[in-house]
Each structure stands twice: as structure tokens, then as C-alpha cells.
A and B are shown apart, each in its own frame.
Chain A
Amino acid sequence: MSFVEIRGLSKKFGQNVVLNDINLDIRKGDVVAIIGPSGTGKSTLLRALNLLEKPEKGEVSIEGNVYDLTTKSAKKKLELRKSTEMVFQQFNLFKNKTALENVMEGLLIVKRMKKEEARKRAINQLEKVGMGDRLNHYPRHLSGGQQQRVAIARALAMEPKMLLMDEPTSALDPELVSEVLLTVKKVAQEGNTILLVTHEMNFVKKVANRVIFLENGKVVADGTPKEIFENPSNDRLKEFLVKIHMLEGLEYTI
């Protein structure tokens, strides 16, 4: 039995099938990158796992605990949400709270930790992402990259079994992307299980140990970065890689 097992995950927006019976096994410590054209349900897959979207069908088991993703039970929902954490494209920090308070919030309110303990753990996490010198900064005082690092610290402080990262660098200025990617790399090297949606293919090559190519709600290709980027077996994958300049295409003139 794998660490995380996703079974039969399906989601429609109206008539539009976004996820079509997705099955996925993830081992502990895996860094799984999800790539694919836009609108193919990459983000929806992550959001469904955290119940930010309501799938029509699907089940996920995390470390043997099985959750029905269509559950209406508030208790089960909270339980699932507590075992995963999400990092958003737009950071979504609490704007009225400082970096430190942002990280402490979940510890105090959800984990019901004592204030001193929460503070200690929050500072520790913020130092890990290189934000230890900006504990009392509010989000508006931080750059996008810094905000995203605080958001990563906020997610990690909750000690999730699986970290869901939804395009963590897509909303950043180009010069700020690297600081976030380095942070993600560090987080990956610490043995966290990560499901990452991204367009940073070079980063995926270096950090992920598995790549999943999603198209039209289906897993079209699944393999190591080497298999995916160097020997793509699938035509659609090849076409996609050509489009994003990861593969030499046919010669053409403009």
C-alpha cells in the first residue's frame, strides 16, 4: 500500500470534464510534478485533494486513512485538510497578520498549541525559509517571493503528510522565482512528500523524482524526469514539450 493513494477522482465543471477518473499512487518522500497544458485540471487535482473543489467522485487514502472526497461530514473534511497543506499561486497570506502571526495562526487555532510553543515552531520554520529576519513584517511589506516563502513556512509548520503546491512561482516577477524555487528544493530535500503543479520545467528536471503529464483530465504520461523530458513516448507529450521549448522541434521559418 502506497503512502498516498488517489482513486477514481472525477470532477466536472458543468459539461466540462476536468478530471476523468484519476488514479495515482505516491510514495513517501516523493516529489511529484504535474505538468500539462493549461485547463487540463492540474490545479483542480490539487484543490480537490484539499476539498477546495468538490469532486463528483473520488477517494484518497493517506497513510492508510481513507477519505471519501465527496464527504459531507465536516469532521472528515477537517481531518483530511489537516493532513495536507496547500501553497497557493497568489500566496494568500492573511493580510492583517505579520509573517510570524501568519505561521502561528494554524498552530494556535487548528492544532491548539500553547502560544510559546507555537511561536517557537513558527520562528524555526520562518528561519528555515530565510525569513527569520522579517517576523514582524506584514504581507504588504514583503515582496512576492518573500510572501511565498512565508506561505511555505505556514504550510510546513502544520507538519502535513503531503504538501500541495499550486504554481508557487507563477505570480512572481522573474527575478524572484529563484528564491522560491530554492526554498521548495530545500523542502523537497528534507523528505517532504510534495505534489507540485508548475511550469518551471528546468526546476522539475532537477528536483522532482516523478513527472505526471495531465491532459484532458487524464494521466497521459507518468515517469521519471529523464523518461518524460528525454525520451517522451507519447505524441501529445512530445507536442507539448516542443511548444514549451523543452524539446527540439521541426525546423520552421517565420
Chain B
Amino acid sequence: MSKLFDGKLVFTQIPTLLEYLPITIELTLVALIIGWIIGLLLAMIKIKRIPVLSQLAALFVSIVRGTPVIVQLYLTYFGIPIALKYFNYYNGTSYNVNTVPPILFAIIALGLNQSAFDSETIRAAIQSVDKGQVEAAKALGMTGKQILRRVLLPQAVTVALPSLGNSLIALIKGTSLAFTCSVVEMTARGKIIAGNNYRYFEVYCSLAIIYWLLTIIIEWVFKYIEKKMSVPEDVPIIKEDQLQERRLNL
């Protein structure tokens, strides 16, 4: 019987797969940043209860959360060229769909998907900061933007971080579907390799190992940032000669 499972290959082909790790990371990071920015915008629209926009935001979030990522990838992949053709037709322009790099479709789909999930996390985190602090900041004379930047966001980030980390992990795994938009990233590369040597099981083993390690690294990084950003547990120690309270007889 020939060798059913080539255990060695699982590890030896990892470097070949890793050549495409930069594409996976590029997809992830750009989609992540788009997700956070649009997510924050959607969150602010919901918090401020802006008429029309907040209903549209709710509809968008509902649709994105209610459809599989792979369907969303297909929708952008087929939808954008159609939209472009209509645009050309009505405006007399001649933009060519084929000049659009395929990675852009994947980035748009994954970024919008992220934004929908993160918007709810960000909204909840911002609203978890008590109103009193906002009033205090207003009373000091801070503007709305300053309050968001100096008071709300720093505290919201610590609250949102664990959930944002989870959704980043979902995103990095979601990039493995970008093949549907003809983007060759790590998983797609693996499929191509396996298509040549018929070692499908081995290549998926290698991919599993890589994604798992990536996820562990992300978890570590988020735990570290969380620890850095949260208010320390321990009360600072005051030396006896610095004690002011007794001297002032308060």
C-alpha cells in the first residue's frame, strides 16, 4: 500500500505556504482598519440616534450578521462589476472592471463584515462609560470631539478589546475564503499545491497549524495590550514621610 498520509510533508510545505502569509495579513489588516473606522461611525450614528441613518445602520448590521461571509464575498465579487457597468452606462464613462485588483473585492467584503460586527461591540463599550464622566468633561469645557478622544474611547477600548480580539480572529480565518474573489492567499495557495500533488489532507493539516499559531499570537498580543491599558489593581504605596493627610489635619 502506498503512503496514505505523508506526515513529513505537513511540515516541509509550511514554508511554501508562508510565502503567501503577507497576502493573508494584508487582507486582514486593511479589512480590520476599515472595520474599525466604519464600525466606529456606525456606533456613533446609533448612539446619537441620527434619524434615517441609524435605521439604515441597523438594517446593514442585520443583513451582514444574517448572511454567511462566503455569500457576502460573492455578492461583492459579482455585484461591484454590475454596479460599475451601470455606472459606465449612465455616466458615459468606461471604467474597466478587469483593472480592479481582485484583492479589493475581498477587502471590501471582509471590511464591511467586520464593521457590522465591531459596530455593536464599540457601541456597547462607549455606552458603558458612565454619563457622569462625560458631564465632568463638558463642565471642564471640552468639545464633543475631545470628549470622544480623551474620555470615551480610551475607556471604551479596554472594554471592547476582548470582543474586538475575537472578531479579529474570525476575520483572519475568514480571509481563507478570499479565493472566491480569485485572491491567492495562504489557503488558496494550499489548494493549488494540493491540486498538483493530490496531498489535500496534508496541506489542510499544514494550514490548520499555521492558522492556529496565528490565532494564539493574536490572543497573546490582545491580552498584553489589555493588561497595559487597564487600571492597575494594586494601590500605590505611600511612604510615611509623604503622608500629607495627617499634617493638614484633614
Provide the B228-242 mask, 1 if CB < 8 A to any CB of A, else 0.
Answer: 000110011010001
Cross-chain contact A130 with B245 (CB below 8 angstroms): yes
Q: Is the CB of A23 closer than 8 A to any CB of chain B?
A: no
Least distance between A158 CB and chain B CB atoms (Å): 6
Cross-chain contact B132 with A106 (CB below 8 angstroms): no
Q: Of the candidates B132, B138, B238, which one forms a contact with A81 in the assembled complex, judged by CB atoms under 8 Å apart?
A: B138
Query: In the docked arrangement, what's the CA distance between A132 and B131, Å?
Result: 28
Given A88-B132, A88-B135, A137-B235, decide whether A130 and B151 contact each other with a Cβ distance below 8 A. no
Least distance between A141 CB and chain B CB atoms (Å): 4
Provide the B156-167 mask, 1 if CB < 8 A to any CB of A, else 0.
Answer: 001000000000
Provide the A125-145 mask, 1 if CB < 8 A to any CB of B, else 0.
Answer: 001001111101110110000
Interface size counted on chain B using CB atoms at 8 A: 29
Kindly list chain A residues whose C-beta atoms are within 8 Å of the C-beta of B150.
105, 109
Q: Is the CB of B16 closer than 8 A to any CB of chain A?
A: no
Least distance between B34 CB and chain A CB atoms (Å): 27
Which of B7-15, B94-102, B139-147, B213-221 lines the interface with chain A? B139-147
Cross-chain contact B133 with A106 (CB below 8 angstroms): no
Which of A7-15, A91-99, A190-198, A229-237 lines the interface with chain B? A91-99
Cross-chain contact B136 with A96 (CB below 8 angstroms): no
Given A106-B142, A136-B236, decide whether A94 and B151 contact each other with a Cβ distance below 8 A. yes
Q: Is the CB of B248 closer than 8 A to any CB of chain A?
A: yes
Least distance between A142 CB and chain B CB atoms (Å): 9
Q: Is the CB of B52 closer than 8 A to any CB of chain A?
A: no
Interface size counted on chain A using CB atoms at 8 A: 40
Given A133-B245, A134-B238, A183-B250, decide whether A85 and B232 contact each other with a Cβ distance below 8 A. no
Cross-chain contact B231 with A130 (CB below 8 angstroms): no
Kindly list chain A residues whose C-beta atoms are within 8 Å of the C-beta of B235.
137, 141
Q: Is the CB of B243 closer than 8 A to any CB of chain A?
A: yes
Cross-chain contact B146 with A141 (CB below 8 angstroms): no
Cross-chain contact B250 with A182 (CB below 8 angstroms): yes
Q: Is the CB of A119 closer than 8 A to any CB of chain B?
A: no
Q: Is the CB of B244 closer than 8 A to any CB of chain A?
A: yes
Q: Of the candidates A52, A127, A132, A138, which one forms a contact with B231 in the assembled complex, judged by CB atoms under 8 Å apart?
A: A138
Q: Is the CB of A78 closer than 8 A to any CB of chain B?
A: yes
Kindly list chain A residues whose C-beta atoms are within 8 Å of the C-beta of B244.
127, 130-133
Least distance between B234 CB and chain A CB atoms (Å): 8
Q: Closest residue of chain B to A129, judged by CB?
A: B250
Least distance between B143 CB and chain A CB atoms (Å): 7
Q: Is the CB of B54 closer than 8 A to any CB of chain A?
A: no
Q: Closest residue of chain A to B158, judged by CB?
A: A96
Q: Is the CB of A82 closer than 8 A to any CB of chain B?
A: yes
Query: In the docked arrangement, what's the CA distance between A106 and B150, Å?
Result: 11
Kindly list chain B residues whose C-beta atoms are within 8 Å of the C-beta of A74.
143
Q: Closest residue of chain A to B147, judged by CB?
A: A109
Given A105-B150, A133-B245, decide whether A81 and B136 contact each other with a Cβ distance below 8 A. no
Interface residues in B115-141 by Cβ distance below 8 A to A read 130, 132-133, 135-141
Cross-chain contact B141 with A95 (CB below 8 angstroms): no
The winner among B141, B142, B155 for most chain A CB atoms within 10 A is B141
Cross-chain contact B136 with A88 (CB below 8 angstroms): yes
Query: In the docked arrangement, what's the CA distance between A81 and B138, Å?
Result: 8
Given A105-B150, A130-B248, decide whether A92 and B136 contact each other with a Cβ distance below 8 A. yes
Q: Closest residue of chain A to B245, judged by CB?
A: A130
Query: Can you list 15 pairs linking A and B with CB atoms under 8 Å apart?
Result: A52-B139, A78-B143, A86-B135, A86-B139, A92-B133, A92-B136, A93-B133, A95-B155, A96-B154, A109-B146, A130-B244, A133-B243, A133-B244, A138-B231, A151-B136
Nearest 10 A-B pairs (CB), nearest first?
A92-B132, A92-B136, A106-B140, A86-B139, A82-B141, A133-B244, A110-B141, A130-B250, A141-B235, A130-B248
Q: Known contacts A78-B141, A106-B140; can you find 13 more A-B pairs with CB under 8 A?
A: A52-B135, A81-B140, A91-B132, A92-B136, A93-B136, A94-B136, A105-B140, A106-B141, A110-B142, A132-B242, A133-B238, A158-B141, A179-B250
